[in-house]
């Protein structure tokens, strides 16, 4: 594998010499079909970036984040609304609530930030190391 291209001051480069961070975004509505669409988008983007080796981990993280977001958004009175992910500590006998623990375990770091556009929303990100 070739060595990374040297970046100019303040610019990071990945091992293929492209500017980093590579970014891709796709807005989703709070509907159940958003989950497989988000997984497919992540898998395709990682393949295009030459990072297919992390697609299994990315698919799992995307599935957890999207499933949580869809469920939480649909459950709000007057919703659905965009909501931030919040890690819970569920009781042992509770069926759900462990998705973000899995995201914590599989990613190096994750977080969210509000995005103001034509509609209010948020961006959720996770850093995955090969």
Confidence of residue 3 (pLDDT cuts 50, 70, 90): very low
pLDDT at 80: 56
State the Cα–Cα distance between residues 97 and 33, nearest whole angstrom: 20
What is the pTM assigned to this prediction? 0.68
**Neighbour-count burial of 66, counting CB atoms closer than 10 A to its CB (0-12 exposed, 13-18 middle, 19+ buried):** buried
Q: How far is CA 45 from CA 27, 54, 99, 102, in A?
A: 15, 11, 23, 22
Tokens of 125: 């990100």
Q: What is the DSSP letter of 126?
A: E
pLDDT in tens, 86-109: 666 767 766 666 778 888 899 998
pLDDT higher than 60, residue 112: yes
pLDDT higher at 95 or 38: 38
């Amino acid at each position: 594998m070739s060595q990374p291209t040297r970046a100019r001051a303040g610019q990071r480069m990945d091992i293929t010499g492209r500017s980093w961070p590579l970014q891709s975004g796709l807005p989703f509505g709070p509907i159940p079909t958003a989950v497989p669409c988000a997984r497919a988008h992540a898998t395709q983007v990682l393949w295009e970036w030459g990072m297919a080796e992390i697609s299994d981990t990315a698919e799992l993280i995307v599935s957890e984040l999207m499933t949580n977001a869809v469920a939480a958004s649909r459950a709000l009175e007057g919703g659905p609304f965009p909501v931030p992910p919040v890690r819970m500590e569920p009781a042992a006998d509770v069926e759900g609530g462990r998705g973000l623990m899995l995201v914590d375990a599989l990613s190096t770091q994750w977080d969210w930030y509000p995005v103001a556009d034509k509609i209010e929303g948020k961006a959720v990100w996770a850093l995955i190391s090969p």
